[in-house]
A and B are shown apart, each in its own frame.
Chain A
Amino acid sequence: GAVVSQHPSRVICKSGTSVKIECRSLDFQATTMFWYRQFPKKSLMLMATSNEGSKATYEQGVEKDKFLINHASLTLSTLTVTSAHPEDSSFYICSASSFGRAEAFFGQGTRLTVV
């Protein structure tokens, strides 16, 4: 299957700072990337959908000014958690899909801890 690389796998940051998470499709062009948040022992909550070159579409209840998503190329999307607070601590996962494909491929996830 296709490979999606997410970096970093773990990050600890101080409250009030910003953190950037990268999601790269290594061997295919990702026309669409998705960002999820996963709480402990819970399913994945879709945060936003981004299409290359367009503004991201956020799900209801997700603060777009707090979770900045950029999808500037067909192989890279970034999620920036701005002014992070302890309640933003979570497991964030990206996935990537391409035109005409039914399935999405997932990154390894990023464990964010805000202290």
Chain B
Amino acid sequence: AQSVTQLGSHVSVSEGALVLLRCNYSSSVPPYLFWYVQYPNQGLQLLLKYTSAATLVKGINGFEAEFKKSETSFHLTKPSAHMSDAAEYFCAVSGELTGGGNKLTFGTGTQLKVEL
């Protein structure tokens, strides 16, 4: 079984500041980890994924995340926030690939606010 904990339901940063969104996971098998972004009234867009290759994963829009097995963490970062980054961010975990695709378990989400 897998689970995800996202610390901080709301994060506020100034434009140009570092973005850090926290995600800790629990998994009984080597996990696959994902970050998705959701804008209002839209579906989820994949930002990046970890699938047991490099532990530092780079995604779209300047985001990256580092898989740390010892800390069971997969925190999302971006060096410099932009106003367009304001959105809801979801961390998700899945386990071994099954015969037709993977069931994702989502965290509760973190609302990122970017202020001038």
Residues of A within 8 A of B (CB): 1, 4, 6, 30-32, 34, 41-44, 46, 49, 51-52, 91, 93, 95-109, 111
- In the bound complex, do residue B100 and residue A31 qualify as a contact, i.e. CB atoms below 8 Å apart? yes
* Among B21-29, B43-51, B65-73, B74-82, the stretch in contact with A: B43-51
- In the bound complex, do residue B43 and residue A32 qualify as a contact, i.e. CB atoms below 8 Å apart? no
- In the bound complex, do residue A109 and residue B102 qualify as a contact, i.e. CB atoms below 8 Å apart? no
The number of residue pairs between A and B whose CB atoms lie closer than 8 Å in the complex comes to: 75
- In the bound complex, do residue B46 and residue A97 qualify as a contact, i.e. CB atoms below 8 Å apart? no
Chain B interface residue count, Cβ-Cβ cutoff 8 angstroms: 25
- Alpha-carbon gap, A31 to B109, bound state (A): 27
- B34-66 toward A: CB 8 Å interface, digit per residue (1/0)? 101000011111100101000000000000000
- In the bound complex, do residue B43 and residue A31 qualify as a contact, i.e. CB atoms below 8 Å apart? no
Residues of B within 8 A of A (CB): 32, 34, 36, 41-46, 49, 51, 90, 94, 97, 99-104, 106-109, 111
- Alpha-carbon gap, A104 to B97, bound state (A): 12
- In the bound complex, do residue A1 and residue B46 qualify as a contact, i.e. CB atoms below 8 Å apart? yes
Q: How far is the CB of A51 from chain B (nearest CB, A)?
A: 5
- In the bound complex, do residue A102 and residue B32 qualify as a contact, i.e. CB atoms below 8 Å apart? yes
Provided the pairs A100-B97, A102-B49 are in contact, do residues A108 and B42 lie with their beta carbons within 8 angstroms? yes
